[in-house]
């Protein structure tokens, strides 16, 4: 079942329900802000004080950072512009009783060209089932190549940040954006202070263990993963977040970021894909 819905202020989203899962996806940013599996409940954190207003990024769910991650392209806003642009809802298909696929698109326009002077066709294909598959396809429609950094900036909801163990990044090269130092990760990850690291050369499946719940993240088309939690002080400074919210999530962002940028030639398509099991 698929319904088009609108908040009182006119902010539009799609609601999807099938016999395995349900999801809510805003047209702004093709932003998944709820995804509930029948068996496990809600997978993503969503701030109770998040804005749902055009031009303001939703705090939680899965923001799509594109065509720049962070300030990798210093000429663009933080995390690019796609997360605050209205996507077109292109199609949906109920593949079977437990699986629904939706396609969203964003094309260049006078507004995007004024920010980033390239012609492109962006497609976001999301498959909602007891697994969640997200695929972002970037087609270069320009006559010149462009450099892309991007991410699915997933905010995973956790019982408490002190309960989580993230596996799969052991021995990977890592850039700590807080200390500006390059290191190699040693062992599994737990979080007990502000954490903001970019892991490179990631070719393994990641596992997020939270008490008795396990989430598996499988990435294709990218080899960087950003792990972020703002902890106490930064959380207080963040917009659209309450003081203790840092306890409720960990961001594990499947990315092409920093050294893992991609160069997309005219007529080429680049694909970022993540499967969450």
| 264 contact partners, CB below 8 Å, separation of at least 6 | 138, 140, 145, 146, 147, 148, 270
Smaller CB separation from ligand BG6, 35 or 246 = 246
Catalytic entry in 48, 253, 259, 268: 253
Is residue 18 a contact partner of residue 100, using CB atoms and an 8 Å limit? Answer: yes
Smaller CB separation from ligand BG6, 43 or 64 = 64
Q: How far is the CB of 153 from ligand BG6 (least distance, A)?
A: 6
Distance of CA 254 to the CA centre of its chain: 7
Catalytic entry in 31, 135, 153, 248: 153
Q: Is 193 a catalytic residue?
A: no
Smaller CB separation from ligand BG6, 61 or 70 = 70
The residues of the shown chain that bind ligand BG6, judged by CB under 6 A, are 57, 70, 78-79, 153, 196, 226, 228, 253
Q: Which two tokens stand for residue 238?
A: 């963040």
Burial 122-159 (b: 16+ CB within 10 A, else e): bbbbbbbbebbbbbbbbbbebeeebebbbbbbbbbbbe
Q: How far is the CB of 42 from ligand BG6 (least distance, A)?
A: 20
Q: How far is the CB of 255 from ligand BG6 (least distance, A)?
A: 8
CA distances from 239 to 29, 83, 165 (A): 18, 16, 27
Q: What is the DSSP secondary structure assignment for residue 83, as one 8-state letter?
A: G
Give CA–CA dist 86/81, Å, rounded: 10
Smaller CB separation from ligand BG6, 57 or 164 = 57
Q: How far is the CB of 96 from ligand BG6 (least distance, A)?
A: 35
Q: Is 194 a catalytic residue?
A: no
Q: Which residues are catalytic?
A: 153, 253
């Amino acid at each position: 079942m698929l319904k088009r819905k609108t908040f009182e202020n006119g902010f539009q989203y799609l609601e999807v329900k099938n016999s395995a899962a349900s999801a809510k996806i805003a047209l702004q940013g093709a932003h998944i802000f709820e995804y509930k599996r029948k068996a496990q409940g809600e997978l993503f954190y969503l701030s109770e004080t998040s804005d749902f207003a055009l031009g303001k990024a939703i705090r939680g769910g899965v923001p799509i950072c594109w065509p720049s991650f962070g300030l990798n392209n210093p000429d663009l806003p933080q995390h690019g512009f796609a997360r605050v642009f209205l996507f077109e809802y292109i199609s949906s298909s109920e593949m079977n009783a437990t699986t629904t696929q939706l396609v969203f698109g964003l094309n260049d326009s006078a507004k995007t060209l004024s920010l980033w002077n390239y012609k492109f066709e962006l497609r976001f294909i999301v498959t909602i089932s007891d697994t969640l598959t997200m695929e972002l396809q970037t087609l270069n429609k320009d006559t010149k190549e462009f450099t892309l950094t991007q991410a699915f900036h997933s905010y995973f909801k956790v019982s408490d940040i002190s309960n989580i163990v993230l596996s799969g990044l052991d021995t990977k090269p890592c850039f700590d954006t807080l200390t500006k130092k390059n290191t190699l990760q040693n062992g599994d990850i737990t979080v007990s202070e502000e954490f903001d690291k970019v892991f490179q050369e990631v070719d393994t499946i990641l596992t997020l263990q939270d008490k008795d719940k396990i989430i598996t993240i499988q990435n294709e088309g990218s080899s960087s993963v950003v792990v972020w939690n703002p902890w106490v002080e930064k959380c207080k400074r963040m917009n659209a977040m309450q003081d203790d919210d840092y306890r409720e999530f960990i961001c594990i962002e499947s990315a092409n970021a920093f050294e893992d940028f991609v160069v997309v030639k005219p007529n080429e398509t680049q694909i970022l894909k993540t499967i969450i099991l």
